[in-house]
Amino acid sequence: MLAPPPNFLVLVRQRKTAYEFTAQKVNSESIQKILEAGRLSPSSHNSQPWSFIIVTDDALIDKLMKTCVYGNFHTNPPALIAIVLEPIYENQPGLLKESLAKFTESHRYLNIGFAASNIVNQATYLGIDSCILSPVVEQANKLLGISGKKEAILLVGLGFGKKSSFSHEKTRKNFEDIVYYNLYGCKVREQHG
């Protein structure tokens, strides 16, 4: 297990997608901390349009992995967290009124991204490897007993990556290629004097 990173940027640099997992289980205390990070995620208008299903049954994990886009590139993790997108308009119908209505649908998906990010970053902090997977929602819903307008939109695999397993090199665009000042395309920082 890795030592906790000394700061957030170190943690973000350490986080990577695991493709092969060992059989070592993730303890329930760690899973609770990971779920707490997901629960505390920011969301537009504090809508919190999520619920989480912890999956540790090996047969169910195998079936869920087979529903995932690129799931065959991963070995089965010892635990999955299914992130379920809830229909916020059932709890907060005001979000579908007036000017808010045009943002509500897209914000639901952005909010799920916050929860997934918090979950994988907390896992990294605890020395636990992860992967984020996109299941075929209808199949995942059926396997997880989800009905109505709820969607098992993301699965997060948790476990401990095999040391010699496949790994992508972590590459990112250069800072100067993606950062502009005041207007898109402006590379010169405005001088205030």
Residue 189 is predicted with a pLDDT of: 74
Higher pLDDT, residue 125 or 3: 125
Cα distances (Å, whole numbers) of residue 63 to 54, 76, 88: 15, 10, 28
* Within a domain: 27: yes
* Within a domain: 83: yes
Confidence of residue 104 (pLDDT cuts 50, 70, 90): low
Per-residue pLDDT reduced to its tens digit, 35-63: 999 999 998 878 888 999 999 999 999 99
* Within a domain: 143: yes
Cα distances (Å, whole numbers) of residue 53 to 28, 34, 81, 83, 110: 13, 12, 6, 7, 19
* Within a domain: 192: no
CATH code of the domain covering residue 132: 3.40.109.10
* Within a domain: 104: yes
pLDDT exceeds 80 at position 193 = no
Confidence of residue 20 (pLDDT cuts 50, 70, 90): very high
Domain count, the chain: 1
- Is pTM beyond 0.75 here? yes
Residue range of the domain that includes 147? 8-166
* Cα radius of gyration rounded to whole Å, the chain: 19
pLDDT exceeds 90 at position 145 = yes
pLDDT exceeds 90 at position 115 = yes
